[in-house]
Amino acid sequence: MQQPILLPVEGKSPAFGENCFLAPNCTVVGDVVMGDECTVWFNAVVRGDVNSIRVGNRTNIQDGAVIHCTYQKAATTIGNEVSIGHNAIVHGCTIHNNVLIGMGAIVMDDAVVEDNCIIAAGAIVLERTRCESGWIYAGIPAKKVKQVSAEQIAGMKRTAGNYVMYSGWFKP
């Protein structure tokens, strides 16, 4: 069976907490530290080669997503219970807790996405944008469009738990 690509860069190797799942064809390199119960799915790339990437607990990085940073400028920090949708790009930014980054969305350098936010599918959060807690952001460039409901907040937490469950389906 194919193994994930895990590579050191400049003497720094990826580190993982307890019960993480790395899909067989994902890539995680360099200065990357992930908490417990994180999942990195098929064809996802987490590239801590030019700066650091820190990921909290129970965060899922879905198929085809790219997590990167900017050399000598912008590290990437991702909180707990974050779902990063298929083919999303999270680059040199800070994502707080219980956030959903929709499929194909892009979050650029020095942006901050606060707790309980949803970044809609296909949205582009421009550099240095601050996404206020409890709001849905959509469009190009992403704009605040609607408050997140209590049901959506609960749904985001449920999704984080579901991805931990899904990972169990792939463990021997």
Report pLDDT digits (tens) over 42-53.
999 999 999 999
Contacts of 162-169 spanning 24+ positions with Cβ under 8 A: 163/39, 163/58, 163/60, 163/62, 163/83, 164/19, 164/37, 164/39, 164/58, 164/60, 166/39, 167/21, 167/39
Nearest C-alpha neighbor of 106 from the set 83, 136, 126, 81: 126
Q: How far apart are CA 119 and CA 154, in angstroms?
A: 16
pTM of the full structure: 0.97
Q: How far apart are CA 56 and CA 72, in angstroms?
A: 22
Residues linked to residue 144 through DSSP beta bridges, in sequence order: 137
Query: 52: domain CATH number?
Result: 2.160.10.10
Count of domains for the chain: 1
Report pLDDT digits (tens) over 66-119.
999 999 999 999 999 999 999 999 999 999 999 999 999 999 999 999 999 999
User: In terms of residue numbers, what domain contains 110?
Assistant: 5-168
Q: How far apart are CA 91 and CA 95, in angstroms?
A: 10
